Structure 1
Amino acid sequence: MATTEPATRFAALDPLLPPPAPSIGDTAGERVSAVTGAGERVSGVVQRHRHGPGDTPLLWSAAQVWQLFPDADTAGTEGFDLLLGELRSLLDTEPAEADSACVVNWPSRDAEAIRAFLDHGLAPMSALAVRTDPPPLAAAGTDGIAVRLAGPGDFDTVLELCAATFDYTGLVAHRRRDQTAELLAPALRRALDEPATWLAEAGGHPVALAQCAWVDSAPGTEAAELLPPGRWAYVNNVVTAPGHRGGGIGQVLMDHVHRELLRPGTVGAYLYYNPMNPLSSVFWHRQGYRPLWTSWEAHPATALR
Structure 2
Amino acid sequence: MTTLDAATDAMNEWRIHAFAELAPFTLPEGERMHSAGSLVGVASELRPEPDASWSIFNPPVANELVVRGADTSGEDPASPAIGDLADLIDDWAAGAPAGVPLQLELPVALRGAPAVLAARGFAPVSTFAVRRVEGEPRPSAWTSKPGRKLREVTADDRAGVAGLLEELHAADADAATGAWAHPQLREHLLDYASKVVDVPVLAVVAEYFGLLAGVANFAAPGTVAPRTSRERELYVQFTAVTRRLRAGGVGAALVGELDARARAAGAELLAVDFGALNPESAPFWLRQGFRPLTTMWRRR
Quote the residue 1:17 is aligned against.
Answer: 22
Distance 2:120 2:18 in 1: 22
Paired residue secondary structure (1:239): strand
Shift of residue 177, structure 1, vs aligned partner = 1.1
1:130 maps to 2:135? no
Code of the aligned partner of 1:281? A
Distance 1:252 1:187 in 2: 22
Q: 1:5 aligns with which of 10, 16, 22?
A: 10
Quote the residue 2:208 is aligned against.
Answer: 202
Code of the aligned partner of 2:104? V
Shift of residue 206, structure 1, vs aligned partner = 1.0
Code of the aligned partner of 2:162? L
Quote the residue 1:272 is aligned against.
Answer: 273
Shift of residue 286, structure 1, vs aligned partner = 0.9
Shift of residue 114, structure 1, vs aligned partner = 2.9
Quote the residue 2:45 is aligned against.
Answer: 48
- Mapped contact 2:121–2:299 kept (Cα < 8 A): yes
What stretches of structure 1 of length at least 5 have no aligned partner? 35-39, 300-305
Code of the aligned partner of 1:69? V
Quote the residue 2:116 is aligned against.
Answer: 116
- Mapped contact 1:138–1:256 kept (Cα < 8 A): no
- Mapped contact 2:204–2:217 kept (Cα < 8 A): yes
1:187 maps to 2:192? yes
Shift of residue 190, structure 1, vs aligned partner = 2.5
Shift of residue 270, structure 1, vs aligned partner = 0.7
Q: 2:56 aligns with which of 45, 56, 59?
A: 59
**Which of 144-153 and 267-276 deviates more?**
144-153
- Mapped contact 2:123–2:297 kept (Cα < 8 A): yes
Q: How big is each residue's C-alpha offset from its partner over 1:8-37, in whole Å with a ceiling of 9 and x where there is no partner?
A: 21123323223322x23xx13221234xxx
In the TM superposition, 1:135-174 aligns within 5 A as 136-142=137-143, 143=145, 144-173=147-176, 174=178
Q: 2:68 aligns with which of 57, 61, 71?
A: 71
What stretches of structure 2 of length at least 5 have no aligned partner? 73-80
Q: How big is each residue's C-alpha offset from its partner over 1:243-282, in whole Å with a ceiling of 9 and x where there is no partner?
A: 1112222222222222112335311101011121111111
Q: How big is each residue's C-alpha offset from its partner over 1:206-256, in whole Å with a ceiling of 9 and x where there is no partner?
A: 111112235579xxx942xx3113111211111111211122222222222
In the TM superposition, 1:22-33 aligns within 5 A as 23-24=27-28, 27-33=29-35
Distance 1:180 1:104 in 2: 25
Code of the aligned partner of 2:153? A
Quote the residue 2:103 is aligned against.
Answer: 103
In the TM superposition, 1:245-260 aligns within 5 A as 245-260=246-261
- Mapped contact 2:239–2:254 kept (Cα < 8 A): no
Paired residue secondary structure (1:278): coil
The normalised TM-score by structure 1 is 0.83
Code of the aligned partner of 1:177? A
Code of the aligned partner of 1:132? R
- Mapped contact 1:161–1:239 kept (Cα < 8 A): yes
The normalised TM-score by structure 2 is 0.84
Shift of residue 138, structure 1, vs aligned partner = 1.7
Code of the aligned partner of 2:203? T
Q: 2:88 aligns with which of 70, 83, 106?
A: 83
In the TM superposition, 1:214-233 aligns within 5 A as 215=221, 222-223=225-226, 226-233=227-234
Paired residue secondary structure (1:265): coil
Shift of residue 182, structure 1, vs aligned partner = 1.4
Distance 1:230 1:292 in 2: 17
Q: How big is each residue's C-alpha offset from its partner over 1:112-165, in whole Å with a ceiling of 9 and x where there is no partner?
A: 333322222211110011000425322233422111111333211111111122
Distance 1:114 1:171 in 2: 22
Shift of residue 53, structure 1, vs aligned partner = 4.3
Q: State the superposition RMSD in angstroms.
A: 2.6
- Mapped contact 1:215–1:232 kept (Cα < 8 A): no
